[in-house]
Structure 1
Amino acid sequence: MEPTAPFPRRSGTAEVSVRPARAEDAGEVARIQAVTWRTAYRTLLPPDVLDGWDEEAAADAWRTAVVSPPTPAHGVLVALERDAPVGFAAYGPAGPDAGAAPRPGGAATEIATLLVDPRWGRRGHGSRLLAAVVDLARAAHVTRLQAWLPEEDTASARFFGSAGWAPEGWVRTLDTGAVPLRETRWYTLIEEADDNP
């Protein structure tokens, strides 16, 4: 699912778009992750994770993810307002889930994270990122997308639900070093594009 072209969109007088992330975007991606987690996940993640955030290390990790992804099916997209990154999505092949039932629809692409800087919320950036991942999955003949969402993250549940996603009922628990974080698996099935006009 290697991205080959940007996904331009226009909204009012401001140009907005989604494109594959570049190495020079890594610092902004790390900043967006930090500010979004501190805003949206303050009650979900341990204070030492949020307050001890190493933005430089996070930027290095995101730079590696962009420049040297584990497989060609992994990628990072950024949402732009004019030329400034305001959100991002990271995706890749979904691995096997211990204890979970086989996935309807076969192999899946998993959205590992989709975040928009809270200052730029409600401008369609999240929807454009999600649509771009769907387009890439469809082009790669993947018909199933999934994401793990914290159970208490009602804002993300509303967002994915409004896009036609649904929870499957599968739950996993992540060790955060403090209170365990429970996540539920959400999914959607997409139709492949018809290659015949």
Structure 2
Amino acid sequence: MPHQHDHPHDHQHDHQHDHPHDPSPAPGPLADASVRIARETDAPAVGLVQSVVWREAYAGLLAEDVLATFEPQAFASVWRQSLAAPPQGVYRLLAACAGSQVVGFASIGPSQDPDASPETGDLSALGVHPDARRVGHGSRLLNAAVDTLRGAGATRMHAWVLATDEATRAFLLAGGLAPDGAFRDRVVSPTGDTAREVRLTASIADADRA
């Protein structure tokens, strides 16, 4: 599974930290919401979601011609290759589904931060399609990511988010993460454009989570 450096942006989240089960679910597929481990055949759907979310996240930061390179097929190709031949370690791609339709995704793996302990996991990507937000998909993905990392032995989770992305930061803060003061300027385009990211962290040890 590709880590955060393989994609231009890795932390776009559902904009509302809502209850996993809407008391008045929408009719049809939205009423059947779930999160599961992604399969190789999910790559095109995940690529589509990522393209839409990444273009939205970087609007105003990157030129239109750069945003246009965030194509569904390019993202899907990377996911397909990584799912077909995953790297060693606990790397997982999670898919949020409305019925049988993939509407969101989350990517997790071991943290690559130089100061991270071996027990630190990384939420390297999370996105929900704009048309499927505010019905709990983001919260379900975040909870599944934490549970999967904890099940693999992680006791802490890191997530990097664009400094300008207030909605994502608010979502993660509501989910229990907090800034630790770390930041970085990362190259996010072929032409060398950079974007400031800040790190959020959380303890995910069983004793520290309700």
Bucket of the pairwise TM-score, normalised by the shorter protein: 0.7 to 0.9
Map of 1:93 onto structure 2: 110
- Give the alignment partner of residue 157 of structure 1, picking from 169, 190, 197: 169
Contact 2:91 2:110 in 1 (8 A): yes
Q: Structure 2 stretches of 5 or more lacking a match? A: 1-19
Task: Calculate the aligned-residue CA RMSD, in Å.
Answer: 1.8
Determine what percentage of the aligned residue pairs are the same residue.
Answer: 37
Contact 1:34 1:50 in 2 (8 A): no
1:71 Cα deviation after fit: 1.9
CA-to-aligned-CA distance 1:130-186 (integer Å, 9 cap, x gap): 100111112122110111101001010000000110011111111233542010111
1:106 Cα deviation after fit: 5.4
- Give the alignment partner of residue 201 of structure 2, picking from 176, 187, 192: 187
- Give the alignment partner of residue 150 of structure 2, picking from 138, 149, 161: 138
CA-to-aligned-CA distance 1:10-58 (integer Å, 9 cap, x gap): 6536010000001111001111011112223212334333112343232
1:68 Cα deviation after fit: 1.7
| TM-score normalised over the length of structure 2 | 0.79
The CA distance in 1 between the partners of 2:179 and 2:154, in whole Å, is 19
The CA distance in 1 between the partners of 2:118 and 2:124, in whole Å, is 18
- Give the alignment partner of residue 111 of structure 1, picking from 119, 123, 126: 123
- Give the alignment partner of residue 49 of structure 2, picking from 32, 45, 62: 32
> Greater shift after overlay, 140-149 or 63-72?
63-72
The CA distance in 2 between the partners of 1:92 and 1:112, in whole Å, is 7
Q: 3-state DSSP class of the match of 2:33? A: strand
Map of 1:5 onto structure 2: none
Contact 2:55 2:70 in 1 (8 A): no
Q: 3-state DSSP class of the match of 2:206? A: coil
1:30-109 equivalent positions in 2, closer than 5 A: 30-97=47-114, 102-103=115-116, 107-109=119-121
Kindly provide the amino acid, as one letter, of the partner of residue 67 in structure 2.
Answer: L
> Greater shift after overlay, 37-46 or 153-162?
37-46
Kindly provide the amino acid, as one letter, of the partner of residue 194 in structure 2.
Answer: P
Contact 1:94 1:110 in 2 (8 A): yes
CA-to-aligned-CA distance 1:86-142 (integer Å, 9 cap, x gap): 000011100133xxxx34x75211011100001111111011001001111121221
Higher relative contact order (CA 8 A, sep 6+): 2
Q: Structure 1 stretches of 5 or more lacking a match? A: 1-8
Kindly provide the amino acid, as one letter, of the partner of residue 125 in structure 2.
Answer: T
The CA distance in 1 between the partners of 2:92 and 2:61, in whole Å, is 26
> Greater shift after overlay, 53-62 or 182-191?
53-62
The CA distance in 2 between the partners of 1:48 and 1:83, in whole Å, is 33
Kindly provide the amino acid, as one letter, of the partner of residue 119 in structure 1.
Answer: D
Kindly provide the amino acid, as one letter, of the partner of residue 17 in structure 1.
Answer: S
> Are the structure 2 counterparts of residues 138 and 45 from structure 1 closer, same or farther at C-alpha, using a change threshold of 3 Å?
same
Kindly provide the amino acid, as one letter, of the partner of residue 23 in structure 1.
Answer: E
Contact 2:36 2:96 in 1 (8 A): yes
Kindly provide the amino acid, as one letter, of the partner of residue 196 in structure 2.
Answer: R
> Are the structure 2 counterparts of residues 65 and 10 from structure 1 closer, same or farther at C-alpha, using a change threshold of 3 Å?
farther
The CA distance in 2 between the partners of 1:59 and 1:86, in whole Å, is 14
Alignment coverage as a number of residue pairs: 180
